[in-house]
Amino acid sequence: MSNFTPWIGSLDRSEVNWGPTIDKDKCIACAMCMNCGKKVYSWIDGKPVVEKYSSCVVGCTTCMNLCPVDAISFPDIQSVKKNLTKNKVYSRIKKDLIENNRL
């Protein structure tokens, strides 16, 4: 399985619409989002830019929660859950975790 992540099982990450969007009008360039462990953001011309959207961990909203001006948003998590259900990820996740020595 390429691109395995326990959050989405064997579903390829490119098939899951999840990542941050920055409202440029609200952003004050505080750089808090630059602490992202997955390095989703790049600093360009004095402001953060989402450069690696699909590197974001599915379900993570840490940057949004820490943004002091609510300039970061994410897609609706319910649409992600529907996609995971439709693609039978929930029924395969434990098997995938075992096969990848994660359990």
Domains and CATH numbers, the chain: 18-84 (3.30.70.20)
- Name the residue among 63, 62, 76, 65 with its Cα closest to residue 16: 76
In 3-state terms, what secondary structure has residue 72? strand
Tell me the β-bridge partners of 44. 47
| Tokens encoding 100 | 């990848």
Enter the pTM of the model: 0.83
Q: State pLDDT tens for residues 25-73.
A: 999 999 999 999 999 999 999 999 999 999 999 999 999 999 999 999 9
The alpha carbon of residue 33 and the mean position of all alpha carbons in its chain are separated, in whole angstroms, by: 13
Number of alpha helices (DSSP H) and beta strands (DSSP E) in the chain: 3, 4
